Amino acid sequence: MTDETTTEQDAAPEPLSEADRPLVEQYDAGLFDLDGVVYVGADAVPRAPEDLERARAAAMKVAFVTNNASRTPDAVVEHLRKVGVRAEVGDVVTSAQAAARLVAERVPVGSRVLVVGGEGLLVAIRERGLVPVRTAAEDPAAVVQGFHPEVGWRQLAEGAYAVRRNVPWIASNVDRTLPTDGGLAPGNGTLVEVIRMATGQTPVIAGKPAPPLFRETVERVGAERPLVIGDRLDTDIEGANAAGMPSMLVLTGVSKLADLLTAPENQRPTYLARDLAGLFASHPAPRAGDGSATCGEWTATLERQDAAGADGRKGQLVVRLSGSGDPLDGARALLAAVWTATEPARIDASEALALLRGQDAAMG
C-alpha cells in the first residue's frame, strides 16, 4: 500500500503574499486549528472568542479542524464552549471523519472495519455506514487507526494481523508527539510506526499535513475560498501548502519567528500574524532581492562579517535589521531576506530576533 498524499493539487500560494484588504473580505471560510490558535489547554487564547465572532459577523464561515481522532465533534464542541467559543457540531471536522471517508471510498457500505483507536473513530466509521470491529478474526475489509490513550499491545497486534492481509490501512494522522499536562507524550505516529514495522506496510494518511482533512472540511462547510489558520509549520502550514490552500500562521502557539527563519519552502505561510486579529488586517508583502528585503519601514540585509560568528566560523552571514513601525513588518523583511539565502539555517539572526522580541512579545 502506498501513501496517497501526493495526488494532483493546486500550486501552493507564494509565502508572505500581499493582501491589500482584510482577509475576512477575501476568503469565505476559515479552517481553524484548535490548540495554539483558539485555546491553549483549558484557556482560550486572549481575544480569540471575540475574533471568531467578528469573523462570523463578516460572513466568514468558521470551521474547527483537528488532527485529534480520539474525541468526537460533540466533545470538541463541549470544550470550545467551556473556553467561551460559540460552536456547533457541524463546525468541527476531525481527522477521524477524514479517515472514515477514505475508508468508505475503498470498501462497500456495510463492510466491517477494524478500529485501532477510540470513540472518535468508532462514531466516524458508523456515520459512513460501516461496521466497526476490534479483532482480525472478524475478517475486516479495512483497518483504520487513530490515537487514543487506551490503545495498547492487543489493539496494535489485531491491527497488524489485519494489515498483513493487505487490506486498506488508513491512519488518522502521524503526529509523533502529543502535548499533555506532563509534557510531550508519544502521539499516533509512534503507534502507526509499530504496525508499519511489524508488517512492512505503509498507511494512507488522512490528517495534517496530508490534504484529505482540509478537503473534507471544505466539502462539509461548502467553502469556495478557504483560508487555513494554524500555529504549527509542520502540520497546519505544510498541510495547507500540500492542499494548495492559502494559510495564515499565528504566533500564539507552537511555531515562533525563529522557527520560520529555517522553515523549508513547503512550510512557509501565505500570511503572518500575531493572533486571529490578523484576519481583519491587510498584509503587505516584503520586497526581496540580492540578499536584502524591505517591508513597511523596515529593511533587512545579509552581511558577511569578518569576525567569527555565533557558531565560531569566520565570515559567517549575519542579517542586519533596521527600521521602525509595526514589528510584524520587520519580521516579514527579516524572513524574506533570510529566505533569499541558499542555507538559511547557517545565517546568524540572533541580533535581529532580539530587536523584534524587544518590541513585540509575540515574536518570541
pLDDT of residue 228: 98
pLDDT tens for each residue of 231-268:
999 999 999 999 999 999 999 998 999 999 999 999 99
Determine which one of 3, 35, 139, 329 is catalytic. 35
Q: Answer for the pair 317, 341: CB distance below 8 angstroms, yes or no.
A: yes
pLDDT of residue 356: 93
Look at 290 and 113; give whichever has higher pLDDT: 113
Grid cell at residue 239: 498541510
Q: Strand 61-66 relative to strand 29-32: parallel, antiparallel, unpaired?
A: parallel
Q: Strand 298-304 relative to strand 292-295: parallel, antiparallel, unpaired?
A: antiparallel
The closest of 141, 70, 154, 67 to 105, measured between CA atoms, is 141
Neighbour-count burial for 69-106, b at 16+ CB within 10 Å, e otherwise: bbbbbebbbebbeebebebeeebbbbbbbbbbbbbbeb
Half-sphere exposure of 21 (CA within 13 A, CB side): 4
Q: Average the pLDDT over 297-316 and give the result.
A: 75
Q: Answer for the pair 299, 69: CB distance below 8 angstroms, yes or no.
A: no
- How far the first Cα of the chain sits from its last, in Å, is 42
pLDDT of residue 5: 39
pLDDT of residue 181: 73
pLDDT of residue 177: 84
Look at 313 and 237; give whichever has higher pLDDT: 237
Class of domain 23-67+210-280: alpha beta
Confidence of residue 178 (pLDDT cuts 50, 70, 90): confident
Confidence of residue 113 (pLDDT cuts 50, 70, 90): very high
The closest of 139, 163, 159, 138 to 148, measured between CA atoms, is 159
> By percentage, how much of the chain surpasses pLDDT 70?
95
pLDDT of residue 251: 96
96-205 homologous superfamily? HAD superfamily/HAD-like (3.40.50.1000)
pLDDT tens for each residue of 27-73:
999 999 999 999 998 899 999 999 999 999 999 999 999 999 999 99
Domain positions in the chain are 23-67+210-280, 96-205, 290-307+315-363
Q: Average the pLDDT over 217-224 and give the result.
A: 96
Q: Average the pLDDT over 197-210 and give the result.
A: 97
Q: In 3-state terms, what secondary structure has residue 291?
A: coil
Task: Give the separation between CA 94 and CA 118, rounded to whole angstroms.
Answer: 13
Confidence of residue 2 (pLDDT cuts 50, 70, 90): very low
Determine which one of 20, 33, 275, 329 is catalytic. 33
Prediction pTM value: 0.91
Residue type, 195: I
Q: What is the CA radius of gyration of the chain?
A: 22
Residue type, 225: R
pLDDT of residue 179: 73
Q: Answer for the pair 230, 37: CB distance below 8 angstroms, yes or no.
A: yes
Q: Strand 287-289 relative to strand 61-66: parallel, antiparallel, unpaired?
A: unpaired
Preceding omega of 22 cis (within 30 degrees of 0): no
33 catalytically annotated = yes
Q: Average the pLDDT over 160-168 and give the result.
A: 98
| Average pLDDT, rounded, for the chain | 93
In sequence order, the 6+-apart residues with CB closer than 8 A to the CB of 84 are 44, 49
Look at 257 and 9; give whichever has higher pLDDT: 257
Grid cell at residue 326: 509595526
Confidence of residue 360 (pLDDT cuts 50, 70, 90): confident
DSSP bridge pairs for 344: none
Q: CA angle, 193 as apex, 192 and 194 as ends, to 5°?
A: 90
